[in-house]
Amino acid sequence: MLTGLFSYGFMINAFLAAMAVALVAGPVGYVLVLRQQSFAGHALSHVGFTGATGAVLLGLPPLWGLVAVTLLAGLAMGLLGERVAGRDVAIGLVLAGALGLGLLFLHFFTAYAAQATALLFGNVFGVDRATLLTLAGLGALTLAGLAAIARPLLFASLQPELAEARGVRLRLVSVLFLGLVALATAGCAQIVGVLLVFTLMVGPAATAQRLSPRLGVGVALSAGLALSEAWGGIVCAYATDWPASFWITTLSGAGYLLSFLPGLPGPRRERPPRRPGPGPLPAPSGGSSS
């Protein structure tokens, strides 16, 4: 059944698009989880849906609307910095409103119902050559930007107080990184949809951090897991005629659950500091009182 897997042009485009996106989502997602900002990827995908549907309303390619609005939202979240933290309820309401606004935009174009489904849940088999080139360009730009800010980004992520004392501009690093997250999120939405961005952005990264405490190994594992899950989902979809997004999500979740099996290396945990034992007992007095 799989002998003719590469005999179709759309299948080749699907594998190449998944590779372009997964190799970016893995490293970016690893740092995103390391910084405990996983919710940012989910937030940006919802906001990006509004941009994509707004672009459709204006007769523009939805991918460019998705990229533009997601990038603006990522830069805004970076500028807000720590003020965003601890406001999950407010952010959740904004995201729900953004998703509802996107659906309102589609209401005026009922002929785009299939396109709305592709935006929400992805359609990797619908990637054409022009979209493939765009995804490759966005991926190269994102990886180049991540490499350029890697040292201050990791320093600010692991030891923010010390990094700030050494002159690292935390606000600028946050803005630049969330801008890169926005570009990676826009790419993931083309493969798994805006509702399932966690599948490629967070799932492989969380699994990699459980399997290895070493930074370089973890980043490589995250990229490799994202790629294998994306390609595996495409193969399973071809064999079963079930949606590729379902299979990619299933493989991502299964990989994370398998990382809890006994015998596998887990995340490094710091040992609690040893409490000092009781001091030596005082020596008894030598003489007795007469």
Question: Residue 47 — φ and ψ, nearest 5°?
Answer: -65, -35
With a CB cutoff of 8 Å and minimum separation 6, the contacts of 40 are: 32, 74, 77, 178, 181
Task: Look at residue 259 and tell me whether its pLDDT is greater than 50.
Answer: yes
Cα of 154 vs its chain's centroid, Å:
16
Residue 38: both structure tokens together = 């996983």
Domain assignment present for residue 285? The answer is no
For 116, other C-beta atoms within 10 Å of its C-beta total 21
b/e code 241-260 from CB counts within 10 Å (16+ = b): eebbbbbbbbbbeebbeebe
Owning domain of residue 164: 9-258
Does residue 55 form part of some domain? Answer: yes
Mean pLDDT of the chain: 82
Q: How many domains are contained in the chain?
A: 1
pTM: 0.82
The whole-number pLDDT of residue 97 equals 74
Q: Report if residue 282 sits inside a domain.
A: no
Report yes or no on 284 lying in a domain.
no
Confidence (pLDDT) at 281? 47
CATH of residue 217:
1.10.3470.10
In angstroms and rounded to an integer, the radius of gyration of the C-alpha atoms of the chain is 24
Contacts of 222 (CB under 8 A, 6+ apart): 26, 27, 29, 30, 204, 205, 207, 208, 209
What pLDDT does residue 112 have? 59
pLDDT of residue 119: 76
Residue 173 lies in a domain: yes
Residue at 104 is within a domain: yes
266 in a structural domain: no
> Are residues 73 and 43 in contact, defined by beta-carbon separation less than 8 angstroms?
yes
Q: 88 — phi, psi (to 5°)?
A: -65, -40
Whether residue 2 has pLDDT greater than 90: no
Cβ contact 181:41 at 8 Å: yes
**Cα 281 from Cα 278, distance rounded (Å):** 8
DSSP 8: S
| Mean pLDDT (whole number) for 245-257 | 94
Q: How confident is the model at residue 88 (pLDDT cuts 50, 70, 90)?
A: low
Q: Which residue has the higher pLDDT, 281 or 2?
A: 2
Task: Classify residue 182: in a domain, yes or no.
Answer: yes
pLDDT surpassing 60 at residue 84: no
- First CA to last CA distance, the chain: 103
Cα separation, 166 vs 151, in Å, equals: 13
Q: Is 279 helix (H, G, I), strand (E, B) or coil?
A: coil
Token pair recorded at residue 50: 């509004």
Percent of the chain with pLDDT over 90: 38
Q: Are 188 and 127 in contact (CB under 8 A)?
A: no
The predicted-structure confidence for 192-231, as pLDDT tens digits, reads as follows 888 788 889 999 999 999 999 899 999 999 999 999 999 9
Average pLDDT over residues 112-116: 64
